[in-house]
Amino acid sequence: MSETLSVRVPDGTKEKLDRIGEASRRTRSFLASEAIASFIERELALIEGLEAGLADMRAGDVLDHDEAMRRVRRAITARPPE
């Protein structure tokens, strides 16, 4: 199932979308839908991460900057070479 959504885009965006559509053999609608879905997933992941961090902070589950940096450096040093 799907719903129709009308959007306004900056000048030139529609033409760029058409170029991508021609190259990928996809419709403008498909590409726009995929782009919006990708944006939404990325933004929701950021929001959820921030909300989790704020909940940790309110619960007192935090590290000071120096300790956090020590742990980061330790993790980098312990990482096996590729």
In a domain, 20, yes or no: yes
At 14, the amino acid letter reads: K
In a domain, 7, yes or no: no
Instruction: Tell me if 23 sits within 8 A of 15, measured CB to CB.
Output: no
In a domain, 56, yes or no: yes
pTM: predicted TM-score of the whole model, two decimal places: 0.70
Assign 2 a pLDDT band (cuts: 50, 70, 90).
Answer: confident
User: Two tokens at 70?
Assistant: 């020590």
In a domain, 8, yes or no: no
Site of tokens 């070479």 = 81
In a domain, 57, yes or no: yes
In a domain, 6, yes or no: no
In a domain, 4, yes or no: no
User: Two tokens at 81?
Assistant: 């070479």
**Each residue of 46-74: pLDDT tens digit?**
999 999 999 999 999 999 999 999 999 99
In a domain, 5, yes or no: no
Return d(Cα 16, Cα 8) in angstroms, integer: 14
Q: Containing H/E element for 40? A: helix 28-58
Count of structural domains, the chain: 1
* pLDDT attached to residue 61: 94
The boundaries of the domain holding residue 57 are 13-78
At 28, the amino acid letter reads: R
